[in-house]
Amino acid sequence: MHIIKLVIVILIFLSIVNYVSAYLQCSNTYILNITSPSAFIFDIEGENVNITILRIGNSSCQQLIYMDYTKNNLTSGLLLIQGKYEVVVKSIGQFIFHYYIIKLKCIQKALCPSFLFATNKSVLIPIPDLTTPEALRAFIVSNVSLTFEIIQCNKIIKEYENTTIVFSKYSYVYFKNPKNIFIKICVYKDSLFYLSYKVIPCFINPYLKLSTPSSEGIASYGILNETKTTKPYLIKTTSILGKFNISCILAYNYSQNLVPPCSASLQLNVVLKTCSQVYWLQNVLEFLTLKHEFKLADDILNITCIDSTLSNYSITSLNGYVTMVNQSGKIEYYYGNYYCQSELKYCLPLCGYLVTNVSLEKCGILVSFAVIFIKNGSSTCYKEIVFDNVLIHGKFRFAYILVCGKHYTPIGSYYDAELVFGGGGNGEITKFCKLNATLWLFYLKKNTYVTFPNYFTFGEDTAEKAVNITVNFCKYYAKLTTGKENFRCYKAYSYSIDPFHYHNISSLHNSSTKSITVITIGSTHASNPNYYTYEILIPIALILSFILYYLLFRKR
């Protein structure tokens, strides 16, 4: 009998919690002022999210024009005429809402984002030919039914009939031989529609953006070149280790504008992937080769999209801050350890490791930059320096360093890992007058650092370049000397390093443990869910249930 009474009391309090959680559910409202016919495209990242779009009339009356509920992520859109609209997004959990407003133009030129046609007209849009296999993804929104076709060599590959929305975000059309491909759209009466498509190569091309000079060393792009075939691969890890052994180094800077003339750098560059963001991480030894001095430096750049930013609230460290950098007229926001870049002396030969680690914490992602010296001059030593711990704030489901040859980053760079020599900084070009160095590049797999399947002799994820370096590959490492540049790819022998053999290096790892669119308005909003609903209210309800049970049913 007492158990039944206790269950009744608990159910009462849980019902109260349910009403409170509904009251406290996150709700974001956006007001849109549409001045001309436009496409409203939106993305929702989250579960159990309601979206409602209302048109506000002159007398403040509201007309419902769209309503949807998603149990998972949603991408959709609709055409809006001139007027004022209210968009309401609700959820009891966390979500991210991202929208675009694209103004439609009454034009009939191919490769434009919107079209206006007379009755029973069609348009044929050519897709540029590529040299590698590719996938095609298309998105079309119309206010009337239409027919959408993907055609190759006069053969219909994919067709959608009598539809107003076509979206193939997760359904790609693949072409092994990407030639003579067209998108055909047929409309049956005067109509505006919005079209966006994206061509996605089935694997990246590391030579696509290669220029001379380049940074040189050892790099993995996630591409395995075998006889007659090229295969992409994907590696997720939380730690990248670059080993170096430098017995001779002397550099002269070509331009000498922003760094000293004898400067050079050894850089470990990787890409951090999260559930919603992408970051470029740089771990650097900056050499002053004439003075036998170096500095320990790091940089972080948000590459989630072209206009992504960083702030001193979104990323923090005791050793650095975010600053604005003008890159050829474009403002970029870099984090760097600018508070702490002391100059240190070195002797040759210099041997050690650059290590970059990431770990997922409750309050965000911790990025650790470290260097380990095992030889400085003729004497063997061991000196471990974790010179910066950077916290990227936010709620993240996952975070890892990604090497992937299947696709490019959102800004068109590579998901690669590279240990390369280059200029001293600020995009400078350095000529190496003397160089004799050996480089290794490993990633953490379980508790051991292992080699990548293959390596390239150049890096493409840095602005600093090098001249007069030749790279010779031997089994699983790169030997660098002065000479003519050679941009090659080599298959690597399997090799691993036991981190515990080198004074427990792994302790560092666990230390903290062409879319054709014209975007006129863009916005991204993250919800502010009330986490007390589930994390605090339910435990409180259970405690109060027992107290109430005791007060009501105790023996008098």
The residue among 240, 220, 232, 276 whose CA lies nearest residue 398 is: 276
One domain, residues 189 and 300 = no
User: Can you give the pLDDT of all 556 residues of the chain as single tens digits?
Assistant: 666 666 666 666 666 655 555 445 577 888 888 888 888 888 888 788 888 898 888 777 788 888 887 777 787 888 888 889 999 988 877 788 888 888 776 544 333 444 444 445 777 778 777 666 677 777 778 777 778 888 888 888 777 776 666 665 545 676 767 778 888 887 766 667 777 777 777 788 888 778 788 899 999 999 987 666 778 899 999 999 999 999 999 998 766 677 888 899 999 999 999 988 999 999 999 999 999 999 999 999 999 888 888 999 999 999 999 998 877 777 889 999 998 887 889 999 999 999 999 999 989 999 999 999 999 988 788 888 999 999 999 989 999 999 999 888 888 899 999 999 998 888 888 999 999 999 999 999 988 999 999 999 999 888 889 999 999 999 899 999 999 988 888 888 999 887 545 444 444 544 433 222 222 233 444 444 444 444 455 566 667 666 766 666 665 5
pLDDT of residue 9: 61
Q: Are residues 311 and 448 in the same domain?
A: yes
Q: Give me the sign of the Cα torsion angle 532, 533, 537, 542.
A: negative
- Considering the domain boundaries, does residue 502 fall inside one? no
Q: What is the pLDDT of residue 16?
A: 63
Residues 452, 326 within the same domain: yes
Check whether residue 399 and residue 480 sit in a common domain: yes
Q: Count CA atoms within 13 Å of residue 128 on its CB side.
A: 12
Residue 532 within any structural domain of the chain = yes
- Using a 10 angstrom Cβ sphere, with 0-12 exposed, 13-18 middle and 19 or more buried, the burial of residue 435 is buried
Strand partners, 429: 465
Are residue 42 and residue 156 in the same domain, yes or no? no
Evaluate whether residue 511 is within a structural domain. Answer: no
Q: Which of 151, 167, 201 corresponds to the end of one domain?
A: 201
pLDDT of residue 549: 63
The answer on 547 and 420 residing in a single domain is no
| Cβ 334 vs Cβ 300: under 8 Å | yes
Q: Note whether 315 and 262 are same-domain residues.
A: yes
Instruction: Please choose, from the candidates 400, 415, 325, the residue with its C-alpha nearest in 3D space to the C-alpha of residue 359.
Output: 400
* Domain end point (choices 170, 201, 232): 201
Residue 206 has a pLDDT of 87
Question: 201, 235, 252: which is the final residue of a domain?
Answer: 201
Output the domain CATH number for residue 135. 2.60.120.260
C-alpha pair distances (Å), 340 with each of 212, 266, 282, 323, 333 = 33, 18, 16, 15, 19
Tell whether 90 is covered by a domain. Answer: yes
Q: What is the CATH number of the domain that holds 71?
A: 2.60.120
Measured between alpha carbons, how far is residue 406 from residues 234, 305, 516 in Å?
8, 18, 21
Residues 333 and 447 in one domain: yes
The DSSP code for 533 is I
358 lies in the same domain as 463 = yes
Global pTM value: 0.67
| Residue pair 351/244 in contact by the 8 Å Cβ criterion | yes
Same-domain status, 406 and 463:
yes
Q: Say yes or no: 347 and 423 in one domain.
A: yes
Asked if the structure places residue 245 within a domain, the reply is: yes
- Structural domain span for residue 90: 2-103+522-553
Residue 40 lies in a domain: yes
Would residue 310 count as lying in a domain? yes
- 352 and 452 within one domain: yes
Tell me, what's the pLDDT at 497?
82
